């Protein structure tokens, strides 16, 4: 009875303050908490003994660019998350306790305090950006209008690009409503459980702000994506705003058909982000850790740093700065450049940020080295091999091109190299992967390969960590299968179909095809011909099988045939990897030179072979060239 009575008199304000104190104690280092308090005191406004932060103050402190007009979106998110765990009371006034909760959640530090709920953070972020509008909800439920001309084949109409977006499919959101009830409040309940509260505090209106009928306005999310692209590298170059909107539009296009849909539903958000953009919100960590470093901190004075509840005494030397603070304080001039500043390439700072949304940033930022560029080294497989082979670290292959429309590659019009390439493709062609338009005619595809490149005449190389992806005009990621291992092939003449293939059967299997003059394309695959002039990306959603998974965003068949503009390969590594590649090339050159200079002339083939084995040039799995 005493315990029940004690909990009955505790108000929501008391519980929220207790949770904030727990976050402060478990999620922050003493020095970080000291800096947080100092920043809050210097930034807060006063009103009737209440100290709180305003939107313009937060925007200025975080240095949010005015040109993006993103501060209202960020402030809406903070005002919602600040009400945690009583989200039905949002928006919250952003006082000290509310900001502690916001920073702990937005930097993922809350996981140090809450054992459960990590999986539902994405839902909390969705709700913090969503609006509840009856008109939007009606548009959401409206069935897609036909986009194909009357008289076209019904099957082709079903594969048209426009209805393929998940938001346009009737009943799509209903599939997730049952799941929502099961996990909607996991994060909230984990927070209340951590405070040892009884069920009387868990039976309130926790579903007041459900995801049913909610949408993130497309323009708001576009602005947030642009901010996340901007802050992803931590120290971006000054001209990073160039092309920022185009990159954001490619990412937004993986979620919605921008021309027809006003906002993003939770069904899309929940399904597409884990597959295509798992690290989208990683940039929040560095952004909101700005609150954990104070410019007023004087390290020349001696302080004593101890935790006493939420209080900190200052009478002795501070401990070493936590990693987050050291990173913020590091001068950008001491860091290597984000990318080599040499000419125009497919890969630019915006694309690097886009890649970091599905590839861990520690594999990308300041670790990329240009190994091969067709524009610089020549468009040939020989140049590619010379520049890329013997690199013993992950590589990124990027190819850009101009899409060939169905009319332009008609057999009645295509001639020469283009006609030969088109003739090698299966006659059945799927619709384009996105609506035709000036900007949509340029496509960018890529593949992340963790294994070294090598000639593959019998089997493919790569592993289950290989990633096939599209960056423009639609952002999409196709993850590798663990069963079908037809990942990557590099085959030169005399292979039946020389070139680079990703997701296609091995060259040996292709030569055994029933139609030896027609390429065998994988269900989800990328093909670049041996002249590096033309390419084709295929997404056979109907077949479902293959070396790479089908799209979580575009659930229909499509194919993009394109004329190559440029091909690049970037090595994910530094000077050590470059030195190792150089040493391996030098060793191979010496071996080849030694073989060339040998002039035995005995006429005894067996004796010649014995001498070569003694020299270590054949045997022990070394071919040493032909003995015929």
Same domain for 487 and 533: yes
In a domain, 623, yes or no: yes
Both 479 and 621 in a single domain? no
Query: 73 with 29, same domain?
Result: yes
Q: Is residue 519 part of a domain?
A: yes
- What does the pLDDT look like over 131-177, one tens digit per residue? 987 665 565 555 444 333 333 333 333 343 333 344 344 334 444 44
Q: Rounded to whole angstroms, how far apart are CA atoms 169 and 554?
A: 11
Question: Cβ(568)–Cβ(348) under 8 Å?
Answer: no
181 pLDDT above the threshold of 70: no
Crossing angle (nearest 10°) for helices 121-129 and 71-81: 130
Q: Same structural domain for residues 85 and 215?
A: yes
Separation CA 612–CA 9 (nearest Å): 92
Which tokens sit at 48?
Answer: 């009737």
Domain final residue pick, 267, 292, 317: 292
Taking 80 as the threshold, does the pLDDT of residue 531 lie above it? yes
Closest CA to 12 of 82, 89, 80, 81: 89
Residue 344 lies in a domain: no
pLDDT (average), residues 427-441: 77
Closest CA to 368 of 399, 406, 395, 403: 395
In a domain, 341, yes or no: no
Shared domain check, 603 and 571 = no
Residue numbers of the domain that contains 626: 599-628
Query: Based on the domain organization, do 445 and 541 belong to the same domain?
Result: yes
Confidence at residue 627, expressed as pLDDT on a 0 to 100 scale: 45
**7 pLDDT higher than 90:** no
Rounded to the nearest integer, the mean pLDDT of the chain is 78
The span from the CA of 167 to the CA of 137, in Å, is 12
pLDDT at 118: 53
CA angle 497, 503, 504 (to 5 degrees): 30
Is residue 464 scored above 70 in pLDDT?
Answer: yes
**Do the domain assignments include residue 335?**
no
| pLDDT at 349 (0 to 100) | 85
What is the per-residue DSSP string for 579-601? HHHHHHHHHHHHHHHHHHH----
- Note whether 76 and 130 are same-domain residues: yes
Instruction: Specify the DSSP element, H or E, that contains 563.
Output: strand 558-572
Q: What would the two tokens of residue 478 be?
A: 């196709």
Output the pLDDT for position 146.
Answer: 37
Q: Are 144 and 168 in contact (CB under 8 A)?
A: yes
Residue 357 maps to a domain: no
pLDDT digits (tens, 9 = 90+) for 358-416: 998 777 776 788 999 999 999 999 999 999 999 999 999 999 999 987 655 454 455 67
- Domain end (from 242, 261, 292): 292
State the total domains in the chain: 3
Reported as a pLDDT band with limits 50, 70 and 90, residue 543 is confident
Residue 220 inside a domain? The answer is yes
Identify which has the larger pLDDT, 56 or 360: 56
pLDDT digits (tens, 9 = 90+) for 413-430: 556 778 888 888 988 889
Domain boundary (266, 292, 318) is at 292
Does residue 582 sit within a domain? no
Q: Same domain for 603 and 568?
A: no
pLDDT for the residue 95: 96
Contact in structure between 323 and 289 (CB atoms under 8 Å): no
Q: Are residues 255 and 395 in the same domain?
A: no
Q: What span, in angstroms and rounded, lies between the C-alpha atoms of 93 and 51?
A: 9
Looking at the structure, tell me whether residues 541 and 627 fall in a common domain: no
Q: Are 101 and 23 in contact (CB under 8 A)?
A: yes
Q: Tell me, yes or no, whether 275 and 132 share the same domain.
A: yes
Q: Are residues 608 and 547 in the same domain?
A: no
């Amino acid at each position: 009875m005493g315990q029940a009575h004690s909990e009955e008199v505790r108000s929501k304000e008391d519980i929220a303050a207790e949770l904030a104190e727990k976050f402060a104690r478990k999620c922050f280092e003493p020095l970080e908490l000291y800096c947080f308090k100092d920043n809050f005191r210097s930034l807060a406004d006063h009103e009737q003994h209440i100290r709180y932060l305003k939107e313009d103050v937060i925007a200025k402190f975080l240095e949010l660019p005015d040109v993006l007009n993103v501060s209202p979106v960020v402030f809406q998110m903070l005002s919602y998350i600040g009400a945690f765990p009583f989200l039905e009371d949002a928006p919250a006034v952003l006082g000290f306790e509310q900001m502690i909760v916001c920073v702990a959640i937005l930097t993922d530090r809350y996981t140090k305090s809450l054992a459960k709920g990590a999986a539902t953070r994405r839902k909390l972020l969705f709700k913090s950006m969503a609006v509840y509008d009856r008109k939007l909800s009606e548009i959401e439920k409206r069935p897609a209008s036909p986009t194909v001309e009357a008289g076209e084949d019904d099957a082709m109409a079903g594969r048209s690009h426009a209805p393929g977006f998940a938001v346009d499919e009737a009943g799509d959101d209903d599939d997730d409503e049952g799941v929502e009830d099961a996990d909607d409040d996991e994060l909230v309940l984990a927070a209340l459980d951590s405070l040892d509260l009884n069920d009387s505090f868990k039976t309130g209106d926790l579903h007041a702000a459900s995801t049913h009928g909610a949408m993130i306005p497309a323009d708001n999310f576009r602005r947030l994506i642009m901010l996340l692209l901007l802050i992803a590298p931590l120290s971006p170059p000054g001209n990073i705003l160039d092309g920022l909107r185009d990159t954001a539009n490619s990412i937004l296009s993986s979620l919605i058909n921008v021309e027809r849909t006003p906002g993003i539903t939770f069904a899309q958000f929940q399904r597409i982000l884990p597959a295509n953009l798992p690290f989208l919100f990683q940039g929040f960590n560095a952004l909101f850790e700005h609150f954990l470093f104070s410019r007023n901190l004087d390290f020349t004075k001696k302080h004593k740093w101890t935790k006493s509840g939420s209080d900190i005494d200052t009478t002795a030397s501070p401990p070493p700065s936590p990693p987050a603070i050291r990173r913020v304080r590091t001068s950008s001039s001491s860091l290597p450049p984000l990318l080599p500043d040499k000419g125009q390439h497919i890969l630019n700072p915006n694309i690097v940020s886009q890649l970091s949304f599905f590839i861990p940033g520690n594999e990308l930022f300041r670790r990329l080295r240009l190994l091969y560029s067709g524009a610089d080294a020549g468009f040939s497989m020989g140049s590619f091999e010379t520049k890329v082979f013997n690199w013993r670290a992950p590589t990124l292959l990027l190819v850009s091109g101009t899409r060939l429309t169905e009319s332009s590659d008609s057999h009645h019009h295509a001639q020469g190299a283009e006609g030969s390439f088109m003739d090698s493709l299966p006659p059945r062609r799927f619709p384009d992967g996105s609506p035709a338009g000036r900007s949509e005619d340029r496509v960018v595809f890529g593949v992340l390969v963790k294994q070294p490149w090598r000639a593959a005449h019998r089997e493919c190389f790569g592993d289950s960590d290989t990633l096939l992806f599209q960056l423009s005009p639609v952002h999409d990621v196709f993850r590798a299968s663990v069963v079908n291992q037809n990942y990557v092939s590099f085959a030169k003449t005399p292979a039946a179909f020389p070139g680079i293939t990703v997701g296609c059967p091995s060259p040996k299997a292709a030569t055994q095809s029933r139609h030896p003059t027609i390429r065998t394309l994988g269900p989800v695959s990328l093909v670049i011909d041996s002249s590096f002039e033309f390419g084709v990306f295929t997404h056979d959603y109907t077949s479902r099988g293959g070396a790479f998974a089908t799209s979580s965003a575009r659930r229909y068949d499509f194919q993009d045939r394109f004329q190559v503009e440029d091909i690049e390969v970037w090595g994910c590594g530094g000077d050590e990897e470059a030195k190792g590649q150089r040493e391996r090339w030098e060793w191979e050159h010496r071996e080849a030179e030694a073989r060339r200079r040998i002039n035995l002339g005995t006429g005894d083939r067996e004796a010649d072979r014995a001498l070569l084995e003694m020299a270590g040039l054949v045997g022990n799995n070394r071919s040493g060239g032909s003995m015929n």
